[in-house]
Structure 1
């Protein structure tokens, strides 16, 4: 009997260099590293720097410093998203050729105005799991001739997934295997709740949803360990993986660390970074105890 070699487990921590890492990042990074060691696998680091306006080399350098201080080691080379834009465009082109995406021309202001107009009449606008209004149907319902005319004019546009067509292209129900701190087992995916998600913008060659599935496949990631705030986004990722013929990792969504306001820690809210705790004299062991490890 021929023995088929088992794929070596691969875990990854994928921060964005757009601000200091905080305690929530430390929890995720440590969990990924320790789970990789326990599984006899590899711990990889990915720098998600698609947003070239907010991501900086200094923040990226700080990520390496913080993770090294925590005692974490990762495989080289580090994957940097800014070096793989063609891979995301290739994936997007596959979806374009299959007719599963469409160019979206509405500005944020136009979307906001449509939402406000509807709600002014007492009708609630549908929201995605993150509480963001779903994209209006205007662009999805444009004729091919009108789309070609707008594209030829050079007007700025994004590319959005046509959720209805994408789901129609799926043969079997979507699910994923979950082992995290919330629901466990086989989880039914429900990507329709996200509406027509954006996959690429005029100022960014790829969205988080598209780049993350392409990156995970390119790096051979077998286990995705990340915060519970991304639990529902897994529905979109499973849909894109299936449409693009990409492998399905196992998922583990861990608990979130909350600030004094009861909300999850956030760079945008200026929550205290790992470097600041280090400057205050904390040791890596003290930090681990602080985050419950």
Structure 2
């Protein structure tokens, strides 16, 4: 049981329409929250405005409603919270926890993508094309995922100091997601396993902000037969509103929730009611991905 009331969330990026892989992640988050009589929030992660597709936010929200995934409270838009992120960055810069960096991606690629700390002691001042990086600890950071088990990472050796604002001025995902989860009182993060490697970075930012960590549950990604994950970038097919009950059944099957045969042909409302009552995290495969054609 939770010491505090459960607060979960689904945080889509409006870079395209909702596809089957996104639905599986949203459904897992929704069922975990509702099974524990918790709150389920929706947050739109629209910071990277050049990637935002016109009409995608409305389509995502309408699709969630079609599938009976009804959220609590007002929707939060990251693009309206930039002042909060900038305030955190200003504090970290003053405290020496962060610094400005003018290294290009090409320069960092020469070090295998691990930032070598080039600008850590250069004392660069703010400028239009400079990123902001947070200093990371030497010791490894770990956590126990509710499905995937223990995860540990040495940020210094595997990532380097974390970019929390990009060179183009866009606030980095790692900072925004942590700041928003704290602000919204999120106790449980349920999302795709592609974000498993990001979690130690986020744990470090929680530490810098002096806040308690949420519980984490990373569900397998749905992969295409060619080994690529279903994604908006690859133009994965948007969900069809007229096939909601069939698609919901497939999403439950992907999460290995196994509705009874008596529910074949049932509507969305009935399927969800069963799934909420019978939600079993331990039934989900503890793998990074599931092939779409195996569902």
TM-score (norm 1): 0.79
**Pairing of 1:76-91 with structure 2 (within 5 A):** 76-91=73-88
Give 5+ residue unaligned stretches, structure 1: 116-124, 127-132
C-alpha change, 1:216 and 1:107, in structure 2 (3 Å) is: same
- 1:160 aligned residue: 133
- 1:177 aligned residue: 144
Offset, 1:110: 4.7
Give 5+ residue unaligned stretches, structure 2: 256-295
Contact 1:176 1:250 in 2 (8 A): no
Q: 1:272 aligns with which of 203, 216, 237?
A: 237
Contact 1:105 1:155 in 2 (8 A): no
Q: Quick one: distance in 1 between partners of 2:79 and 2:237? A: 27
Q: Quick one: distance in 2 between partners of 1:286 and 1:176? A: 36
Q: 2:63 aligns with which of 62, 66, 80?
A: 66
Q: 1:289 aligns with which of 242, 246, 249?
A: 249
SS of equivalent residue, structure 1 residue 43? strand
Offset, 1:138: 2.9
Q: 2:155 aligns with which of 191, 209, 223?
A: 191
Contact 1:230 1:253 in 2 (8 A): yes
Q: Quick one: distance in 2 between partners of 1:289 and 1:228? A: 21
Deviations 1:90-110 (A, max 9, x none): 111222122121111123355
Q: 2:10 aligns with which of 10, 13, 31?
A: 13
TM-score (norm 2): 0.79
**Corresponding pairs, count:** 251
Q: Quick one: distance in 1 between partners of 2:169 and 2:60? A: 22
Contact 1:13 1:29 in 2 (8 A): yes
- 1:23 aligned residue: 20
Contact 2:14 2:60 in 1 (8 A): yes
- Answering whether residue 237 of structure 2 is matched by residue 257 of structure 1, we say no
Deviations 1:139-193 (A, max 9, x none): 2242x3xx24xx4xx4511101222xxx16x8xx74323112x2x2x54453332
